[in-house]
Amino acid sequence: MCGIIGVSNHEEAAKVAFLGLYALQHRGEEAAGIASYDGKDIHITKAVGLVADAFDERSLGALKGNVSIGHSRYSTTGSSNVKNVQPFLAMHRNKPLAVAHNGNLTNTETLYKRLEDEGAIFQTSMDSEIIVHLLARMKNGDIKDRFISVLSQLEGAFSLVLLVGDMIVGVRDPQGFRPLCLGKLGDGYILASETCALDLTKAEFVREIEAGEVVLITGNKIESFFLPEKPNRNKSFCIFENIYFARPDSNIFSDNVYQVRKRLGARLAREHPVKADFVMAIPDSGNYAALGYSQELNIPLEVAMIRNHYIGRTFIQPSQFMRDFRVRVKLNPIKTVLKDKKIIVIEDSIVRGTTSRSRVEELRKAGVKEIHMRISCPPIRFPCFYGIDFPSQSELIAANKSVKEIADFIKVDSLEYLSLEGMLSVVKASKDFCHACFSGRYPVPISTTQGKYLLETNKTTGS
């Protein structure tokens, strides 16, 4: 999962991109980068770390030009290192070609081997670089024909923002796995993963980029067209965006994330009610489902855990060691509120189970009498190959244990999950959502060798 942004026709394009990335920080905390173009030279700054750490006034001042693209990275193909920081930049026919990619290609190995056989030399282990090589090889036709030819070769999830000379290009794959929206700022346009980036930059929301749409922006002129439809392929918006990843103040997939999470909590309450002294959330992503659960059953809601907001999102840290450390320092229970109480704890999801177990242990130490945990999505039993970093079933506790066994492992008095039907009932156009991580029904075929480190030497598992 990553955050992407593109800015066109703005005298401070790079600074606007910086603000947009700051708003999209939750989508990737490993690295950030911005590329800009001034009509003559390409400028780029990339660094490992948070957006605020990757840029300063001097580096932003050096990013000249009225067009720019940016990226905040959470690695799902390729290791977390400097060479894999985006945007990925190349020069082609004396013009810059840069790409910022959110999602995962599923035919990476096939395309990579073909390009290597044709003489391509790869600089990174990201599937995103494949897109640049394909574009550079297209010689005939106008830019629309070239993009159709290249993008039609890609399989999987790809929301893209590209810088092609002084043009900004936005792309959303035909299934629409990852969100992408269009905003208007002055005489220019902004492309961004979520609408919260438009809010911070004071851009006016225009619309979502549609599944399969390609948008070409030059100055204040905009043109769009659609990729050819593939047989037996339906829209497949990622439901986990609404459950966990997207910011609650964003509107994605024609809905508001805050409202969807509240509806998930209300449906969860109807499916799995329980008597207790109060409802509490695991902050922050569980807050809104907890509110819906509380209101549905008319049980008080308490803020019984305080989050340290200087600690990043636990799930998207690249190593188990860092996840364990951040779990310990991220949340602190309020003992006077919790002591001798029967509580309902609302979590947005359980992936590996170790984080939930640590949190329950802290609640027990605070003197809680009973803990009833409710999860606002179904059990995650299958890996995701479309841009979320749980690619191995061995890592997924629900793939290897029953609900009762999970409850015993995390040491709660009861545990219940929202049903698949219940989850889909609260979103608009439920048939348009991908739920492969819950159901195992993959909307786009998966390679048997697909994995985060596919493109790295001596590893068999590769944005």
Owner of token pair 């073909």: 114
Catalytic residue among 2, 181, 377, 384: 2
- Convert the chain into a string of H (helix), E (strand) and C (coil): CCEEEEEECCCCHHHHHHHHHHHCHHHCCCEEEEEEECCCCEEEEEEECCHHHHCCHHHHHHCCCCEEEEEEECCCCCCCCHHHCCCEEEEECCEEEEEEEECCECCHHHHHHHHHHCCCCCCCCCCHHHHHHHHHHCCCCCHHHHHHHHHCCCCECCEEEEEECCEEEEEECCCCCCCCEEEEECCEEEEECCHHHHHHHCCEEEEECCCCEEEEEECCEEEEEECCCCCCCCCCEEHHHHHHHCCCCCEECCEEHHHHHHHHHHHHHHHCCCCCCEEEECCCCCHHHHHHHHHHHCCCEECCEEECCCCCCCCCCCCHHHHHHHHHHHEEECHHHHCCCEEEEEECCCCCCHHHHHHHHHHHHCCCCEEEEEECCCCCCCCCCCCCCCCCHHHCHHHHCCHHHHHHHHCCCEEEECCHHHHHHCCCCHHHEECHHHHCCCCCCCCCCCCCCCCCCCCCCCC
CB 108 within 8 A of CB 454: yes
Burial environment of residue 122 by CB neighbours within 10 A (0 to 12, 13 to 18, 19 or more): middle
CB 447 within 8 A of CB 109: yes
196 in active site: no
Catalytic sites, residue numbers: 2
